Each structure stands twice: as C-alpha cells, then as structure tokens.
Structure 1
Amino acid sequence: MADRSDVRVVDPRGKAAALYEARRTRVPIAPFTDTEPHLTLADGYAVQAELVPMLLADGDELIGYKVGLTSLAMQRLIGVESPDFGPVLASTRYADGGVVPMDRFISPRMEAEITFVMGDSLLGPGVTADAARQAVSGAAASMEIVDSRFEDWRLELADTVADLASNGALVVSDAFVPVDDFDSRLVGMVLSRNGELVDTGAGAAALGDPLKVVAWLANVLGEHGLALEPGHLVMTGALHAAVPLAAGDVFTAEFDRLGTVSVRAVDSLDL
C-alpha cells in the first residue's frame, strides 16, 4: 500500500478496467507510463486497488500476497530501493506436479522462490524478522509464473505494481516445513528445465532473508490496518533471473530442506 496523498494517476479505475480486459482476452496493452511518465509507486497501487475488487467480483478469492523486487540486482535494474507487492488469487494456484495451460498467459516466465504460510496473524508496524518467524507455520518450495499484461514486458515500476506485481500463477509444494530448525537465508535452490540446469539461487537473495520479506509486507499492510492472516501464503521473491516458459516445458525446482516442486506447461487444458 502507499500514501494515497501522493497519487497523481489519471482515471485509476479506467486503467484497472483496461488491465482487467487484457487479463480476460490475453491481449497486451501499452504501458500507462508511455503517456503518463510521471506515474509513481503510489499511482500503481491506486490502480491495483481498483483492479482487485473487479477480480474478486468474478468469484475469485485472496489467498495471500506476492512480494517482488526483493533482490538487490532487480532493485538496481528497475531503479528502486524497496520491493513491491500484489495479491495472490485462488484461481492462479496450480498443483505441484500438475499442468499449467499457456493459453491463460501472455508472455509467461518462470521463477523459483520460497513461500511461507502464516500460522498466526501478523500486523505491523514494528514487525521484525524474528516476529515473522514466530508467526509463520512453515516454508515450502514454490515457483511463480510471472506474466505481464503490457506489451513486450515494456514497463516501469508503476505499471508492474498496477498489474498486481506482474503475478501470473504459482505452484507450491504441499509439504510445508517448520522454520524453527533451519536458516532460510541458507536454503539453496537448483532450477531445471526438461532435466537440464537453468539456474541456481539461495534464500538470502530475497532481502537478505526471506523472513525479512514477510516482515516488510506485514509492516506495509499494517500502515492501512491490514494484517497477514492465518493461512495466507507469502511469496518472497525470485532467487534468480526469470526464465521464459513455453508449452512442453517441465520445470523442477529443488530446494535444500524444503524438497522439490515441479510443473509441466501445456498449450491448453481443453485439449
């Protein structure tokens, strides 16, 4: 969330409607910053705040949040000093070991990351990584499919925030591991596509500690009286550079301590 007093965006509801339509038709649109280059983080959240109710009105459900731009490399690339976040919706969750249809996306890319599930409520401000550790009930191996409703992934920070932080889908292992007996900073990850190594990473890539991501999110939500609730998923950000995804690909992410998560991409579930 952001201080709405900083919002200068023109017609946030109209922009949200354009994103809603792009999601429905899978036809990308031009970035909002093409015509409004002054748009800020706060403006992006103003559009996001209009888009989410449109999606929930279709019968979807909020099941947690994704946090993006948690690596220093990505923050430097985009030119920001803080992460961003967006909601995770029930319709975007796919089963570990299952299939994901590419006809539901525009230009999907794969990222492997650590996901936590909340055991207790967590309300900022003042939440620390230690408090986050006590509030989460477990961590799991996961992958996020990021997607952009903007043409050719041509976007600025305000655009990606408006577009639910470029969230497309998630695949989370069914096995959540208690976090009391290991250090999430040191969790190593190996990502493979069709049996061949693609990239590697470690938990510390996410703000130096994935639990700091949970704390950051709780504090930002808390500025507006919102809390992380029991059962909420918190996706803590990619541990490597995003990888293109196409029908026929089988991705597997192997995590130290957390196990393995995999998914197969197909053209359509209607075949």
Structure 2
Amino acid sequence: MTEWNVASAAQHLLDAEAEQRDITPITDEWAELDVETAYRVQDEVIRLKQAEGHTVTGVKLGLTSRAKQQRMGISSPLTAVITDAMVLGAGVPVPLDELIHPRIEPEIVFVMGRELKGPGVTAAAAMAAVETVHAGFEVIDSRFKDFKFTLPDVIADNASSARYIVSARGFDPEGLDLALEAVLVRVNGSVIDTATGAAVQGHPGEALALAANSLAERGRSIPAGALVLTGGLTDAVFVNPGDQISAEFTTLGTIVTAGSAA
C-alpha cells in the first residue's frame, strides 16, 4: 500500500510518465486529495522536473470550455505549468514512443510582453500585457487510464501536459478579433472539427485573466516572456502513427504536425 502524501503522489505521476504506463486515479486510494493539495502535488512535480534540468517556459489552462467545467463541477479553468522539455520544434513529429495515449488540440498562444499579476485582472488588462499572439497545438497525455480522473487528479497531473507546438510567426494583438478567430482542424486531409476563439471562455483574453487571478491566489504571477496556452479550441483528437494533423487559423496561419511512425 502506498503511503499517500504530496511527495509520493508526485513521484507516482512522474514514474508513470517516465515508464509510459497509465495508472488508476490517485483519488481511488487517496480520497482526501483535494484541489489545494493537488496544486501542491503539481508544484512538486514541476520542482522535480526542474531538478532534472527542465526550465519553466510558461503556463497553460485546462478545462477552459464551459461544457467541460460543468462536467467537472467547476466554474473556471485550472492552471498548469509548461517547460522547455515539452517543446516540439517545426517538423518534429509527436513522439508516440515517449507518450501513453496522446491527443492533440489547437490553441491560441500568447507571449507575454510584461508581467501579469492578479487579483482583479480583467480581459482588457490581460490583453494589454500580451506582446504577440501565435497559433499552437497542445499534445495532452493524461497519466490516468482512459483519460478518466477527478478534478484533483488532473490538477496533480499538471493538467495532462505533455508537448506543445507554437508557430514561429507572432501577431500584434491590436486589431485581432480573437473571439472570431477561426480554426479548421484536418487529420490526413479530412476536416474533423472547427471552432473560434470564443470557445475559450468567450475570448482567450478572458482565459488569460482567469489564469492570472487564479495564480494570484497561490502567490504567483505570469512573468514577462512567458508563453500562455489558453486552452483547446476543439475537442482533442488521438494521435496515431503516421497521422498528418493541421490547424488552419483565419489570421494566425497554419501549423502542421504528425504522429511518429510506428
């Protein structure tokens, strides 16, 4: 029997990630794991990654769609941490041999021009702190079997973070209508989903403000230069060996990736 605490839960998740194996929800055995403690587990996961040489590059939001929030019984997104070890460069396929059951989703990504610190941040104030806007993909890979988990489980698991791709070209947020920014997702040439930026809290700037205010509750801020993955615009799709996946944005351009060969 595992003696559950913040340290053992963090190591349990890291072991699952390293060994590419799925696990049952931690809350199945540690029923006392609540949201506050889960964020402490997430912090310990990141601390251990930093001890291995990983560098924090920014933050991401999870459960940004209102439908997903209703299913999980929450009213705002959760936050998680991204690192340089999660970056996929242009032309680099999703490394399926390093992951468990990856899914991919298109995102609008911000690069912060200055620090954003809550509480009380509005969407307008959040957008004023953004330097550039990019097209992005996030590859999520829950360590839990069949992507089934409670809210504390997914927070502890760093919101299923695995890999991310950000377009090289960035756009000045001035003049962009991000609520209407559309994306068309293709897999192997076939359109499988479409959405607009309004799918993320009505506007990605609202998600950014929520992230800043949520982090402030734990004494954190979003620093200048940080990347912010604002949340999936569409449902995530599984990545299979050899799949060619693209996201075509109205203004932000097109990004393309593939699942590594079997």
What is the TM-score when the length of structure 2 is the normalising length? Answer: 0.95
Residue number among 92, 95, 98 corresponding to 1:101 in the alignment: 95
1:70 is aligned to 64
1:125 is aligned to 119
**How many angstroms apart in 1 are the aligned matches of 2:138 and 2:44?**
23
**How many angstroms apart in 1 are the aligned matches of 2:159 and 2:100?**
15
**How big is each residue's C-alpha offset from its partner over 1:9-46, in whole Å with a ceiling of 9 and x where there is no partner?**
94111000101111111122221111234532222212
**How many angstroms apart in 1 are the aligned matches of 2:184 and 2:12?**
37
2:234 is aligned to 240
Secondary structure of the equivalent of 1:160? Answer: helix
Residue number among 178, 183, 186 corresponding to 1:189 in the alignment: 183
**How many angstroms apart in 2 are the aligned matches of 1:224 and 1:241?**
29
Residue number among 137, 143, 156 corresponding to 1:162 in the alignment: 156
User: Are 1:70 and 1:83, in contact at CA under 8 Å, matched by a contact in 2?
Assistant: yes
2:13 is aligned to 19
Secondary structure of the equivalent of 1:218? Answer: helix
**How big is each residue's C-alpha offset from its partner over 1:149-185, in whole Å with a ceiling of 9 and x where there is no partner?**
1122121111111000111110110111111002211
1:221 correspondence with 2:208: no
* 1:183 alignment partner AA: D
1:231 correspondence with 2:225: yes
Residue number among 108, 120, 140 corresponding to 1:114 in the alignment: 108
User: Which segments of 5 or more consecutive residues in structure 1 lack a partner in the other structure?
Assistant: 1-8
Residue number among 132, 135, 138 corresponding to 1:138 in the alignment: 132
Question: Identity over aligned residues, as a percent?
Answer: 38
User: Are 1:103 and 1:267, in contact at CA under 8 Å, matched by a contact in 2?
Assistant: no
1:87 is aligned to 81
Residue number among 4, 22, 28 corresponding to 2:22 in the alignment: 28
User: Which segments of 5 or more consecutive residues in structure 2 lack a partner in the other structure?
Assistant: none
User: Are 1:98 and 1:262, in contact at CA under 8 Å, matched by a contact in 2?
Assistant: no
What is the TM-score when the length of structure 1 is the normalising length? Answer: 0.92
Residues 155 and 190 from structure 1, CA distance in 2 versus in 1: closer, same or farther, beyond 3 angstroms? same
**How big is each residue's C-alpha offset from its partner over 1:41-82, in whole Å with a ceiling of 9 and x where there is no partner?**
222212112111111111001000110111111112222222
**How many angstroms apart in 2 are the aligned matches of 1:21 and 1:267?**
25
**How many angstroms apart in 1 are the aligned matches of 2:74 and 2:30?**
18
What is the root-mean-square deviation of aligned Cα atoms in Å?
A: 1.5
**How many angstroms apart in 2 are the aligned matches of 1:222 and 1:30?**
31
**How many angstroms apart in 2 are the aligned matches of 1:11 and 1:227?**
26
Deviation at 1:97, TM superposition (A): 3.4
1:151 correspondence with 2:145: yes
Secondary structure of the equivalent of 1:184? Answer: coil
**How many angstroms apart in 1 are the aligned matches of 2:71 and 2:193?**
19
**How big is each residue's C-alpha offset from its partner over 1:179-219, in whole Å with a ceiling of 9 and x where there is no partner?**
10022111011000111111011101111110111111111
**How many angstroms apart in 2 are the aligned matches of 1:179 and 1:192?**
26
* 2:81 alignment partner AA: P
Residues 225 and 39 from structure 1, CA distance in 2 versus in 1: closer, same or farther, beyond 3 angstroms? closer
1:200 is aligned to 194
